[in-house]
Amino acid sequence: MDLRQLRYFITAAEELHVARAAGQLGLTQPALSQHIRALEERIGVRLFLRANRRITLTAAGSAFLAEARQAIFHADQAVRTAQRAARGETGSINIGYVSSALGEPAFLQGMAEFGRKHPDVIIEMHLQNFKQNLTALHHESDDIAILRGPLTEMPEGYEHFTFSNWAIQVALPTEHPLANAPQVRLADLYQETLLLPDDPPGCGLADTIHRVCATHAFIPRRSMVVNETSSAVGMVAGGLGIALLPESASTLRLPGVSFCPLAPPVHHSELLVLFKRFERSPAIQSLLLQLRGSAPAQQPLLR
């Protein structure tokens, strides 16, 4: 059914005067009358009783008016919904992330700003380790992955950008003799238990830590794998070990933990944003644009 004819009918039914309705619609009176007759022929009932230039609704016309208004409302709403989806104002996004991302204030601020600008976009966030994030991308159960480099291999059909790049520091219990030192040499920590992330070989923060240790010729007395960063910080607070973490993790500081710079050479840890190379979702495109704009200048965190 022609929506234009429905709009003409509604205007005529509200005015109950062909000339006034035609003027409001920018039509001639004969043209409006022709459209109404065509509509009546299409549905097979009379909608108006005509007397000179005045018209009145039939019982069928009154019933049809209520439904016609609903049809126009839903048609207009469908247009608005499509336009909002095209602008990225609606939709859903699934994000997998490693726990150290929660130590990045700029990442959290960027997500919050996107939420304020796009209140009708549904975001689901899943805390996962490195391998789980890549698996979720492979199965397309997640749209975006937030994880730490390096990557041994980019998943097929995906690309990434670097969100942040922070220097590696050492997290020590506050009662440790070196907790207040301006710089810490790893060689002085050889008796400590080193807490390591659960990352695949050659990937993520674990690979960065291995390279730091190799550069400093550091072999800890013992190492222990910890599933995620906040747990590592908690274990440091409990005196169960030390951790090598990006400086941004200091925002996850717990009572009993001190973050100290390492003696040179300094290594860095990148936080990466992985996404489909040819992403079509306007909502996801908008979020990626927001995160690119929120990526911090690489300055030391304020103490």
pLDDT of residue 302: 40
Q: How far apart are CA 218 and CA 223, in angstroms?
A: 12
- 3-86 — its CATH code? 1.10.10.10
- Is the pLDDT reported for residue 253 higher than 90? no
- Name the amino acid, one letter, at 289: L
Alpha helices in 226-281 (DSSP H): 229-237
Q: How far apart are CA 101 and CA 127, in angstroms?
A: 10
State the CB neighbour count (10 A cutoff) for residue 265.
8
- Do domains 3-86 and 91-163+271-294 share one topology? The answer is no
Using only the alpha carbons of the chain, give its radius of gyration. 32
Overall pTM surpassing 0.85 (yes/no): no
- 165-268 — its CATH code? 3.40.190.10
- Is the pLDDT reported for residue 76 higher than 60? yes
What are the domain boundaries of the chain?
A: 3-86, 91-163+271-294, 165-268
Closest to 275 measured CA to CA, from 162, 160, 148: 160
91-163+271-294: what CATH class? alpha beta
Mention every residue, 6+ apart, whose C-beta is less than 8 A from residue 254.
233, 234, 236, 237
Q: How far apart are CA 220 and CA 222, in angstroms?
A: 5
- pLDDT (mean) for 59-75: 92
pLDDT of residue 247: 94
Contact predicate 176/202, CB 8 Å: no
Mean pLDDT of the chain: 91
Q: How far apart are CA 191 and CA 274, in angstroms?
A: 38
pLDDT of residue 120: 92
Over residues 201-214, the pLDDT tens digits come to 999 999 999 999 99
Which band of pLDDT confidence, cut at 50, 70 and 90, is reported for residue 54? confident
